Amino acid sequence: MLPAPSTPTALPGPAPICGSAAPGLWIAPACSRNLAHVFRPAHSVDAPLILTLTLDAPAQAFFDELRQRHFPPERNYLHAHLTLFHHLPGAHLAELVQQLSVLAQHQPPLPLRVAGLQFLGRGVAYRLDGPAVEALHRELQRQWWEQLTPQDQQRRRPHVTIQNKVAPDVARALHEHLAAEFEPFGAQGIGLQLWAYRGGPWELLHSFPFAG
């Protein structure tokens, strides 16, 4: 858990995305505006926050069905998800909500390509290609850098895990089976979701659907 500081400091930077960007990534018309200076309420949660990319309904249903079938039942208390950040500070919930709300109001859906299978050693994931998603992740990293854990400061390679924490031979067999019949297909990132992590099932705090 992350204890809230007595005097919360603002996360670096506002929601606007500045400079050049991958196709489909919103660029703010006024990059100099810092929303943290005009919106700084004390609302926070005493838990780390997780930020995920919302997938379109057909893609979500595809991954949910596979996760339901192959994830260990005693550990499967989440829907399939594409995580962007694993551990954002709960003390900055209000700033995060404001920044992400502004971003989502201007951000069109982000194109993705479900490109292949990924063997995780004790699980299996689907690898997704999405330059605009990676560009968005890099920009949010830049804005929040000093608040990020070492894990969240690393490059994010989009993927959706449908099996984990099983014996390596079980994971290898599933990987080979799914890879043999896999055909790439398109998907979209249609929003963001912010969750609180309290040691078990995640608690959904806010959804940010993209414009358009």
- Highest mean pLDDT, choosing among 12-16, 30-34, 206-210: 206-210
Tokens matching residue 148: 């990020």
CA dihedral defined by 97, 100, 106, 110, rounded to 10 degrees? -140
Q: Are 79 and 52 in contact (CB under 8 A)?
A: no
Q: How far, CA to CA in Å, does 39 sit from each of 14, 35, 210? A: 10, 6, 21
- Comparing 1 with 135, the larger pLDDT belongs to 135
Q: Mean pLDDT, to the nearest integer, of 90-97?
A: 94
Q: What is the mean pLDDT of the chain?
A: 84
Q: Mean pLDDT, to the nearest integer, of 53-66?
A: 98
Place 212 in a pLDDT band, splitting at 50, 70 and 90: low
d(C-alpha 128, C-alpha 10), whole Å: 32
Residue bearing tokens 């998603």: 133
- For Cα atoms 140, 143, 144, give the angle at the middle one, nearest 5 degrees: 85
Q: How far, CA to CA in Å, does 66 sit from each of 56, 59, 74, 81, 169? A: 16, 11, 16, 12, 18
Percent of the chain with pLDDT over 70: 80
- For Cα atoms 45, 160, 190, give the angle at the middle one, nearest 5 degrees: 70
- For Cα atoms 114, 180, 175, give the angle at the middle one, nearest 5 degrees: 75
* pTM score of the predicted model: 0.80
Tell me which amino acid residue 131 is. P
Tokens matching residue 100: 């992400």
Output the CATH code of domain 44-209.
Answer: 3.90.1140.10
Neighbours of 140 (CB within 10 A): 26
Tokens matching residue 31: 């990059």
